[in-house]
Structure 1
Amino acid sequence: MRKIKYKKERKVQPTFLDYTGIHKQIKTEMQMFVYDVNNLTEYQEFKVDDLDKCFDTTQSNWLNVHGLNDVEVIKSIGEYLKVDNFILGDILNTTKRTKLDEYRDVLFFNIKSLLPIENSDNISVEQISFLLKNGILVSFQEKRGDHFTYLRERLRTHSGIIREKKVDYLLYLLLDAIMENFYVTIESEENKVEDLINLSKTSTNPMILELVEKHRDNFNFLKRSIIPLRDSLYSIKSIKDDNIFNAIEMENYSFFDRLHQESLELLEQIEYDVTSLDSASNFYFSQQNHKMNEVMKTLTVVSVFFMPMTFIVGVYGMNFDNMPELHWKYGYFIVLGCMLVLLLGMIYYFKKKKWY
Structure 2
Amino acid sequence: MYNQNLNVLSFSFSLWSRSFLQNFEDFASFCLFELHDLVHDLAIYVARDDFQLLNFQYKNIRENVRHLSVLENDLLLGQISIPTGLRTILFPDGANSKPFLNTCLSRCKYLRLLKLNKSRYKNLPHSIGKLKHLRYINLEKSKELERLPDSVCKLQNLQTLDLSECENLLKLPNEIGNLIKLQVLYITTKQSNFPEELAKLSSLEILAFINCDNLMFSFEGIQFPKLKLLSFSYCGNLKSLPFHIIPNIESLIIMDCNMVILSMGDNNNQIPKLKLKLIRLNSLPQIVTFPQWFQGCANTLHTLIIGNCENLEELPKCLSTFISLKILKIVNCPKLISLPEDVHRLPNLQGLTMSGCPELYRRYEPEVGQDWYKISHIKHVKVVELED
Q: Same fold (TM over 0.5)?
A: no
Q: If the TM-score is normalised by the length of the shorter chain, which range does it land in? A: under 0.3
| TM-score, reference length from structure 2 | 0.22
| TM-score, reference length from structure 1 | 0.24
- When you count helix as a share of all residues, which structure comes out higher? 1
- When you count strand as a share of all residues, which structure comes out higher? 2
